[in-house]
Amino acid sequence: MNDDVQRLPISVTVNGDERVLEVAVHHTLLDVLRDDLALTGSKECCLVGECGACTVILDGRTVDACLVLAVEADGTSLTTIEGLASEGRLSPLQAAFLDHGGVQCGFCIPGQVVSAHALLQDNPHPTRADVDEGIAGNLCRCGCYEQITEAILRTAEASGR
Amino acid sequence: MNDRVGGSPRRVGGYGRVTGEQEYVADIAAPDALHVKLVTLDCARARIVSIDTTDAERIPGVKFVMTPAYLPTPIPRFGPQFEDRPILAVGETRYHGEPVAAVAAETKDAAESAARLVKVEYEALPAVVTLAAALVDGAPLVQGPEVRPGDPLSTTNVLREHRVGWGEPEALEADKADLVIENVYDFPMVTQFAIEPHAFMAAPDGDGIVVWSTIQHPNWLQRVLSRILGLPLSKVRVLSPDPGGAFGGKQHAKYEPLVAMMALRAGRPVRLVLTLEETFQAVRRAAATIRVRTGFHSDGTFVFQDIAADYLIGAYADIADRVVGKGSYPGCGSYRVPAARILARSVLSHTTPSTAFRGFGAPQVNWAVESNIDAGAVALGIDPLELRLRNLARRGDPFIPFDTPADGDWEQAARRAAELIGWGTPLMPGRGRGIAFGIKSGPTTGLSYSTVRLLADGSVVVYAGTSDMGQGARTVLAQIAADELGAPLEWVTVVMGDTAVVPYDQQTSASRSTVLMGNSVLHACREIQARLQSMAARLYGVEESTIVVERGIVRVADLEVPIPDVLVRGLGRLGGELIGIGEMRKEADPEHPLGGSAAFFEFNCTAIEAEVDRETGDIAVIRHVTVSDVGKALNPLQVRMQDDGAAIMGLGHTLMEHYIYDDAGRIRNLGAIDYRIPTSMDLPLELVSDMIENEDGPGPYGSKGMSEGALIPVAAAVAAAVRDATGVVIRDLPLTPERVWAALRDRP
Ligand code: FES
Ligand code: FES
């Protein structure tokens, strides 16, 4: 195999579990999530940071995993789509996506849900404009934008009290 | 939430989609799979002199490089209409991105490095990338005459001509009309841009093969592979997990034959996941130039439509010529037109093979014809909605004389849209409104089998070969079975995407599945209901004819018994299950120009209010109203999502999307940075979808197919709103700020 590829050890907390692994220095975080950790919920589309299908939360901030080198993630804490539902129960946000029709083919949805999750963490009471802007980096060719926005706003309202 | 037909329960398969568990082709674990990387050239057209794989094969981990030398001669070709596409380019490449070789390696990295080291010696040749260049005398031929022996057009780049018309030829003469409007319109090359790039995997499977693909038509792919590999259908298993968006771009085989051949050579699984850039090079919509002459009486009624549409298709036909024929065929729209002449040509070029894309050739002609109607209305001083309504076909009108008569109350949809946009009410300064009608022929033939099993506990398994690529077929089919067999929706499983298990379905296209597969599943359920009827007769000791089984209930005299009660007692001690087989056919008609009449029409009215920024040329869509005639919404939320999605996609080609080619035939804006599609920031300020339900469709409970209609009239409605706001008429898409700004500047 490609033994001349340089590898470095990294340690990352992924959805609460500490993972120690050796990664190729040129591999992106997305490569490592999908190929080394078998976390395929984060999707591959544009690979240039334009579509948001690979969105994950790194130390509290959303990033496109295709733009981050895996070695740069050393010592960080990550949340991926796999970390949002607990014990088979959907988070209120995930449930709202389904109830408001925010999902069609689903390919962009992990990225959308992660972006929306981070948005609500930063800003529990977003306006419609905040939401549109918050998910502007997540393309949906099925065109679920209106419904996704609705789902996010309703989730915020329900948790607002 | 209401699970029954007509309700909008949570999407079946939704859980996996919001948790990331849904497995798309690229997510399937196959640790022993070799990775494939395509080798392509940096130009569209080239004569291949030699391919040297020595250096590439020295890279550690590389197993082999597939070249034409390792394929049977003559190299197998395939295609849904013409078998013209070779598994790898032979002798000459014909489009930018056409694979000339492919590397198989243990890792993605090795495959990628090796692909760069495959030395292809080639001579770049002049490429034809525009209609003008393809049609000029002496143009280089994209396909040599030997590919289509005996075809008089084979010495030109015109693949085929499609002619439709009615009325007397003299009726098209200018002096028969009070007003003739003639213009030329352009529609750009755009791409499907499903967020999931195409992905393929293949593995030897005993004495056969198994192929995974993002394909929409698994049964069609199975036939292609069976022919190329010389295997019986039973030895070719196609697995097609729900695609991550398709929009027509995943209908037909692309690189599956190559991947299958590589798996057989490797003796182990191989996988090829395209990059988005490679996907752009693999699929697109045909560009078109359309000349329209419309004859009007002074009261706005039509005298004739005379349409000549040239579609720029790619280097291989794929399904593009069918797109041209079927898309141009209802080109006169949803109107009564006394005389018509439509000539549509598919013109080959050295570009990405164009293929099916939502609307299937209709958006191009609709853009031209509806815009020309708007021009006529302006010239005659008649309100554009009023003029359309004067011509609109009413239910039962044979508006295309040899086809299915108008099958809906389309005026209702038009009036609803007009009302929702506030047609005729005062506008703010700088704003304008536009309206357009769209129509699309549904499937002309079809064959959908299904199997439904009512298991001993009353739960249900449905086997249906439809692909759920986001349109929600899984949910709708589950709703039908749940409703008919009295099971809760969560007790229904829908199995799709496995040709070894699921019975034959012709294809998932033309918005057919609710109607054709829906009816098939309904028939299968009815078969089970008939068995329940005999069971109940036996159990209650009454005549079978006195028992009615419908919508989940068995009626015995004035008793209403839930189906599971009858089932459990009727099956007896051994248990077992009831099996129903569904079959739905839409027969071909060899006399018909399209090979069959329309199973239904998709009608949509789109109305737009827009504001144009005179300084920048920017168009802001203030309100976008889309109203489709759907017969009956089996799941109203999904109907709305499909219409919204189609409307937004329509805004893409209307306002921003287009491929840019250079002289070497390379796409200059490959990928998401330079090719923009609508984001959440590009939406209309208000998007209003509504639907008309008269239960007058051929599908279950009166449904019709839908999901493409709302895209078709978007461009013409937006351009009309711009014209209304500014007085400027633009006949080329997309209506980019530069183009609008220039048109405003040059206004006479
Ligand atoms: S795949 Fe990372 S942004 Fe598109
Ligand atoms: S749901 Fe299909 S791309 Fe967003």
Taking only the tens place, the pLDDT of each residue in A100-117 is 999 999 999 999 999 999
Q: What distance in Å separates the CA atoms of residue A42 and residue A138, rounded to the nearest whole number? A: 12
Q: What distance in Å separates the CA atoms of residue B414 and residue B470, rounded to the nearest whole number? A: 27
Contact at 8 Å (CB) between B18 and A113?
yes
What number does the ligand 1 atom closest to the CA of A66 have? Answer: 2
Nearest chain B residue (CA) to A4? B60
| CATH class name, domain B287-443+592-746 | alpha beta
Residue of B469, B641, B646 with shortest CB distance to A147: B641
Angle between helices A109-122 and A92-99 (to 10 degrees): 130
Q: What is the pLDDT of residue B149?
A: 87
Average pLDDT over residues B27-35: 96
Shortest Cα distance from A161 to chain B (angstroms)? 23
Contact at 8 Å (CB) between B294 and B378?
no
Contact at 8 Å (CB) between A94 and A84?
yes
Tell me if residue A134 falls in helix, strand or coil: helix
Q: What is the pLDDT of residue B649?
A: 98
Q: What is the pLDDT of residue A1?
A: 45
SS (H, E, C) B14-46: HHHHHHCCCCCHHHCCCCCCEEEEEECCCCCCE
Strand arrangement, sheet containing B34-39: B62-66, B101-105, B34-39, B270-273, B199-205, B208-213, B236-239
Amino acid sitting at position B166: W
Query: Is B470's CB within 8 Å of A142's CB?
Result: yes
Q: What distance in Å separates the CA atoms of residue B376 and residue B383, rounded to the nearest whole number? A: 10
Contact at 8 Å (CB) between B555 and B587?
no
Phi-psi region of B608 (alpha: psi -120 to 50; beta: other; left: phi over 0): beta
- Residue B439, exposed/middle/buried by CB under 10 A (0-12, 13-18, 19+)? buried
Query: Is A2's CB within 8 Å of B15's CB?
Result: no
Q: What is the pLDDT of residue A160?
A: 72
Q: Which residue, A115, A30, A92, A118, is CA-closest to B108?
A: A30
Nearest chain B residue (CA) to A133? B681
Shortest Cα distance from B395 to chain A (angstroms)? 32
Contact at 8 Å (CB) between B566 and B556?
no
Q: What distance in Å separates the CA atoms of residue B484 and residue B521, rounded to the nearest whole number? A: 10
Q: What distance in Å separates the CA atoms of residue B409 and residue B396, rounded to the nearest whole number? A: 9
For B194-226, write each residue's pLDDT tens digit: 999 999 999 999 999 999 999 999 999 999 999
Known catalytic residue at B173: no
Buried b (16+ CB within 10 A) or exposed e, B237-247: bbbbbbbbbbb
Q: What is the pLDDT of residue A2?
A: 47
For B519-548, write each residue's pLDDT tens digit: 999 999 999 999 999 999 999 999 999 999
CA of residue B276 to ligand 1 center, whole Å: 10
What distance lies between CA B192 and its chain's CA centroid? Answer: 9
Q: Which helix or strand (DSSP H or E) is residue B620 part of? A: strand B619-629
Question: Is the model's pLDDT at B646 over the cut of 70?
Answer: yes
For B598-613, write each residue's pLDDT tens digit: 999 999 999 999 999 9
In Å, how far are B147, B159, B161, B349 from B151, measured between CA atoms? 9, 9, 12, 18
Q: What is the pLDDT of residue B1?
A: 53
B70: phi then psi, degrees, rounded to nearest 5: -95, 5
Phi-psi region of B167 (alpha: psi -120 to 50; beta: other; left: phi over 0): left
Which percentage of chain B shows pLDDT scores above 90?
97
Average pLDDT over residues B607-620: 97
For A82-102, write each residue's pLDDT tens digit: 999 888 899 999 999 999 999
Q: What is the pLDDT of residue A87?
A: 83
Contact at 8 Å (CB) between B24 and B646?
no
Specify the CATH number of the domain A92-159. 1.10.150.120
Shortest Cα distance from B19 to chain A (angstroms)? 6
What is the interface size between A and B, counted as CB pairs within 8 Å? 182
Which percentage of chain A shows pLDDT scores above 90?
93
Question: Residue B27: its chain A contacts at CB < 8 A?
Answer: 34, 40
Q: Which residue, B100, B95, B101, is CA-closest to B143?
A: B95
Question: Residue B276: its chain A contacts at CB < 8 A?
Answer: 45-47, 51
When the pLDDT of each residue in chain B is averaged and rounded to a whole number, the result is 97
Question: Is the model's pLDDT at B653 over the cut of 60?
Answer: yes
Q: What's the full length of chain A, in residues?
A: 161
Question: Residue B14: its chain A contacts at CB < 8 A?
Answer: 97-98, 103, 106
Q: DSSP code of A86?
A: B
Query: Is A141's CB within 8 Å of B677's CB?
Result: yes
Q: What is the pLDDT of residue B748?
A: 72
Q: What distance in Å separates the CA atoms of residue B695 and residue B697, rounded to the nearest whole number? A: 6
Tell me if residue B120 falls in helix, strand or coil: strand
Architecture of the domain whose range is A7-82: Roll (3.10)
CB-defined site of ligand 2, < 6 Å: A 103-109, 140-142, 144; B 195, 245, 470
Half-sphere exposure of B13 (CA within 13 A, CB side): 30
The protein residue with its alpha carbon nearest to ligand 2, atom 4, reads A140
Contact at 8 Å (CB) between B203 and B34?
no
Question: Is the model's pLDDT at B246 over the cut of 60?
Answer: yes
For B397-425, write each residue's pLDDT tens digit: 999 999 999 999 999 999 999 999 999 99
Q: Are B14-21+446-586 and B287-443+592-746 equal in CATH topology?
A: yes
Query: Is B109's CB within 8 Å of A5's CB?
Result: yes
Question: Residue A94: its chain B contacts at CB < 8 A?
Answer: 18-19
Average pLDDT over residues B120-140: 97
* Interacting residues of B332 by C-beta distance below 8 A, sequence separation 6+: B305, B307, B340, B342, B369, B399, B400
Catalytic residue, chosen from B170, B182, B708, B738, is B708
- Residue A86, exposed/middle/buried by CB under 10 A (0-12, 13-18, 19+)? exposed
Nearest chain B residue (CA) to A26? B109
Question: Which residues 94-123 on chain A approach chain B with CB closer than 8 angstroms?
Answer: 94-95, 97-99, 101, 103-110, 113
What distance lies between CA B397 and its chain's CA centroid? Answer: 27
DSSP string, B660-696: -B-TTS-BTT-STTTS----TTSS-SEEEEEEE--S-
Q: Where are chain B's structural domains?
A: 14-21+446-586, 32-125+198-273, 287-443+592-746
Query: Is A104's CB within 8 Å of B245's CB?
Result: yes
For A9-61, write each residue's pLDDT tens digit: 999 999 999 999 999 999 999 999 999 999 999 999 999 999 999 999 999 99
- Residue B178, exposed/middle/buried by CB under 10 A (0-12, 13-18, 19+)? middle
Question: Is the model's pLDDT at A3 over the cut of 60?
Answer: no
Query: Is A106's CB within 8 Å of B244's CB?
Result: yes
DSSP string, B373-411: HHHHHHHHT--HHHHHHHHBPPTT--SSTTSPPP-S-HH
Q: What is the pLDDT of residue B50?
A: 98
Nearest chain B residue (CA) to A132? B680
ipTM of the complex: 0.97
Q: What is the pLDDT of residue B481?
A: 98
Q: Which residue, B21, B244, B201, is CA-closest to A39?
A: B21
Residue of B10, B20, B680 with shortest CB distance to A136: B680
Q: Where are chain A's structural domains?
A: 7-82, 92-159
* Token pair belonging to B638: 């999904």
DSSP string, A28-85: BHHHIIIIIS--TTS--S-SSSSS-TTEEEETTEEEEGGGSBGGGGTT-EEE-GGGTS
CATH superfamily of domain region B32-125+198-273? Aldehyde oxidase/xanthine dehydrogenase, a/b hammerhead (3.90.1170.50)
Specify the CATH number of the domain B14-21+446-586. 3.30.365.10
Per the DSSP assignment, residues forming a β-bridge with B102 are B38, B66
Classify the C-alpha dihedral B486-B446-B468-B228 as positive or negative.
positive
